[in-house]
Structure formats: C-alpha cells, structure tokens
Chains A and B, each alone.
Chain A
Amino acid sequence: MAVERYTKDHEWVRVEDGIGTVGITEHAQAQLGDIVFVEVPEPGRQAKQGDAVAVVESVKAASDVFAPVSGEVVEVNSEIATQPALVNEDAQGKAWFFKVKISNPAELDGLMDKSAYEAFVKEAS
C-alpha cells in the first residue's frame, strides 16, 4: 500500500517499497498558473530534506521544489522537462518530478496526510 504525504511547500510524496515519488500538488499548479519550464535534479544526487532540488517556472515566477525527505535521487521524469504544461494537466499523476530512495523514513512522520494538507490549504487561502 502506498502512503501519500504532503509538505507545507505544496509537494506530495508517494512512498512505496522505500522509494518516494515526488511532485507538486494540484493546489500548487493552480496557484502557479501556466507552467513553462521545469528543471529536474541529476539522478544520483544525494538530497537532504528541504534541499532545493528542482525548479518549476510559470509565466509569472520561478519556484523551487524541495526534497520532502532525504535520500538519493534514483529516477527523474524527463517528460515534464520537455512538456512543462503536463504539470498543469496532471500534477499529482503523470507529472511527478523525481523518485528518491528514502534514507530516513522517520522524516515522513513530520509531513501531513491528505486531510491535514487539505485543511492547511484551506487555512492559507
């Protein structure tokens, strides 16, 4: 069973067999507007929780995408680099950014579950 967690920076991480798939939330893509550029990290990069590892730019502004958990980047989604608009279309599905081999699963305990994230978004808006 995959576990899904969310960060205050509006990222999601879906965890399965110790691998976390990371992307930005539906709320984040809607706030950003038309996404025109995505930069994904180099596979093999060792990321610490909170490191800025990817970039997403809309017509309005550039935003960092942070590693929600520490670990090694094992796979990246090159499709969103060539088709940034995919992030607008399917932020929490096809438009994942990278996969990370989680080095400290305890970090997941500090993240929000779906209902906590939904409440967080509601409060912030």
Chain B
Amino acid sequence: MSAHRTTDEPLRRTPLHRLNLELGAKMVPFAGYDMPVHYRLGILKEHLHTRAKAGLFDVSHMGQADLVGPDHATTALALEKLVPADVLNLAPGQQRYSQLLNEAGGIIDDLMLTRPALPAHAGRLYLVVNASRKEVDYDHISARLPANVRLEPAPNRALLALQGPAANQAMLALSPPTNALAFMMGANVHVDGIDCHVSRSGYTGEDGFEISVAAERAEELARLLLAQDGVEPIGLGARDSLRLEAGLCLYGHDIDEATSPVEAGLAWSIQKRRRVEGGFPGARRIGEELAHGTKRRRVGIRPDGRAPAREGSEIVARSGERLGTVTSGGFGPSLNGPIAMGYLPQSCAAPATPVNLMVRGKALGASVAALPFVPHRYAR
C-alpha cells in the first residue's frame, strides 16, 4: 500500500506541482515525476466526472519535442524512416497517432505528431512521447536524422488535457477558435491571452483538448480552466481507467518492443501509402502481418464476476490450455465492473469467446469483448 521509489534520484516536478498540492492531490512517483494519482474526489468519482462533464489532467510529464527541418517534406520524410504513419501528407494543423518502431517492427514508443498550422513553424513537427520513454526516444530519433533535421526537446513546456463532454463549452469561453477544431486537428491559439498549442485529442475516449503551454504560464492557465463550469482536476488513476475503458494502449503494458502495431490492433494508424511503399523499420514483418494476419492479437476481456484481473494474470482456455496474459486490467467505473485487455491467439480472439482468467490461483470465467468497452465520443 505504499509507493516505493526504485532509484535515489529526486523526483521531478511538473510546473503545476504547487497547484496540485493546493488542490489536495495525492502524489505518487510515476516515470521519475511526482504526479497526482487523484485529487479530493478520488479515482472513481474523478473518472465518472470526466465522462459526465470535464476533467483537467496535468500531463506535463509527457515528452514534448519539435522536429525541425528546412521544409515540411524534408522533416516528414526524416520521421517516416522511423514511424509507419503517413507524415508527408499531413495537412497543416493535422495530428496523427503513430509508433516509433525497431528493426523487428516492435514498438519503441507510441506518440502523437502534429504538423503545425502556424506558417512560422513550417518545417516543424510537434511530437508528444511517453514520459517513461523520453530519453530512449530522443536518443533513437536524434541518431537517425539527416544533417538538416534536428530534434529540439521542449522541457520548458507544460501539457494539460481537458477531457469530457463539457470540455468544448469550457474552452469556447476562453478560446473561441478551438470550437472549430475537428478531432485530431491542432492550432496555435490564445487561451484568454495565453499562447498555447491546442489539439482536439486525448486519452479518455471523450471529446477534449490537449493544451501545450510555456511552463511559466501553466498554473495561470490551469486555474482559468478549473474556474470554468463543470471542470474538476483529475489524476492519473482515473486517466488509466478512462483509457482502459476506451480500449487505448498504455506503453510498457499493452505494447512494448516485442509487440507489432498489427498485433496491437493499431493497423488503422498505418496509412495506405506507407503500406504500399514501406520504408519504415520492420516494414517487411508488418507487411506480412497486414497481408496474412498475426498469430496473436490484442483483445478486450470482461470477467463474468466482480473480481478484477490485474496485469500479469494468465488467460487460459476453458480446457485449461494457456493462451496469453492480461496486459491491463482493473475496474471500469463507467461499466461498474471489471475490465481487462490482453493478447490471445487469433483462433480465440473473437468477441464472446469464453476464457478463464487465473486470479489468486483460481480460474474465473470471462469472455472476449469488443474494444472499446465504452464508445468513443470524439468530435468528428
């Protein structure tokens, strides 16, 4: 019940540290940062509040960086050597989800990339990577860039996520242009006079925004957003249960260097042009998998009873044969029941297939479920 530190290094703090404490956050170590796991409402209520109204998340631990080249095509093609997404054909302002791949087609990290709409930022791509993978990613990318493209980490920027059905109304008051943003589009805007980059995206399955802001304006911005109707601060605990209900992958759990994007059910993020042309790490394996399928794939699982099956629980056939492992598991507050994700052989990956989950030495009944568990409500 206590959080253990694995290193002696002091925990890093986000620009919202002081505000988080003021808001009654329970702080825990996460990816080297002192982060809010929940605020005064607690995980369950914070989760339900985000689905009902709007939640503000401090995700400043995430890695923000700019890839900077002479023009869009040069920068895009440099990144395309590392990821399977079509970066070249991004429209100004358009954002995409992709993965840094190793030579075996395994996932080094998953990331968001945006082609800025701002003319002054032509030739740049904004990247957002996982906190736990920052150093690995930056080294990996930097070592593979041509001479005229460079990676500029932006540790002086904070990242806030405003998520939920009331997020748009809350932003509308402070930054009218954000109302016009479609899902997976971003813009450089003022939010009540504060320079921000806002994208319509998130990690909850709800409509919402991710807002990148200079560290020194982050607290002011967070206070403004928290003052809007229906906005409550939400911690990493609810962020995890929200993303699990939305069927979204957590790096290091549902995906890792041994997982290909096709196995992980992320083939949708590999655009047609890249499938045809290849030219990304692991293109051969991924091409094979796209054409002929994979041995295993990521699935949703719903336990029959009330007991959650946590990460690491074995998934076995009703006959007892070992099939796979739970990669994320817990309680889904919006479903008021346990949910999990894991990998299963294709032969038993169809929704409604009965399986057992081994929990504390007992086989508990469960069945394969379609993802997401809770329908996405993005602004299309």
| Chain A residues near B (Cβ < 8 Å) | 10, 28, 31-34, 36-37, 39, 55, 57-63, 81, 84
CB closest chain-B residue, reference A85? B44
CB closest chain-B residue, reference A81? B306
Chain B 336-361 per-residue mask, 1 if CB under 8 angstroms from chain A, else 0 = 00100000000000000000000010
B261 at interface (Cβ–Cβ under 8 A)?
A: no
Chain A residues in 8 Å Cβ range of B47: 59
Most-contacted residue by chain B among A34, A59, A81 (CB, 10 A): A59
Chain B residues in 8 Å Cβ range of A58: 43
Q: Are B1 and A32 within 8 A (Cβ)?
A: yes
Q: How far is the CA of A36 from the CA of B331 in the complex (A)?
A: 7
Question: In the complex, which residues 310-331 of chain B have their Cβ closer than 8 Å to any Cβ of chain A?
Answer: 310, 330-331
Return 9 A-B CB contacts under 8 Å, by A number.
A32-B1, A33-B42, A33-B44, A36-B44, A55-B360, A59-B43, A59-B44, A59-B237, A59-B331
Instruction: Tell me how far the C-beta of B288 lies from the nearest C-beta in chain A, rounded to whole angstroms.
Output: 39
Most-contacted residue by chain B among A36, A58, A62, A63 (CB, 10 A): A36
Q: Are A36 and B308 within 8 A (Cβ)?
A: yes
B51 at interface (Cβ–Cβ under 8 A)?
A: no
Q: Are A62 and B43 within 8 A (Cβ)?
A: no
B241 at interface (Cβ–Cβ under 8 A)?
A: yes
Contact of A59 among B306, B330, B360 (CB under 8 A): B330
Q: Are A63 and B360 within 8 A (Cβ)?
A: no
What are the 7 A-B residue pairs with the smallest beta carbon separation, nearest first?
A: A34-B44, A36-B331, A59-B43, A37-B306, A59-B331, A31-B1, A34-B42
Q: Are A60 and B308 within 8 A (Cβ)?
A: no
Instruction: Tell me how far the C-beta of B157 lies from the nearest C-beta in chain A, rounded to whole angstroms.
Output: 29
CB closest chain-B residue, reference A60? B237
Question: In the complex, which residues 1-29 of chain B have their Cβ closer than 8 Å to any Cβ of chain A?
Answer: 1
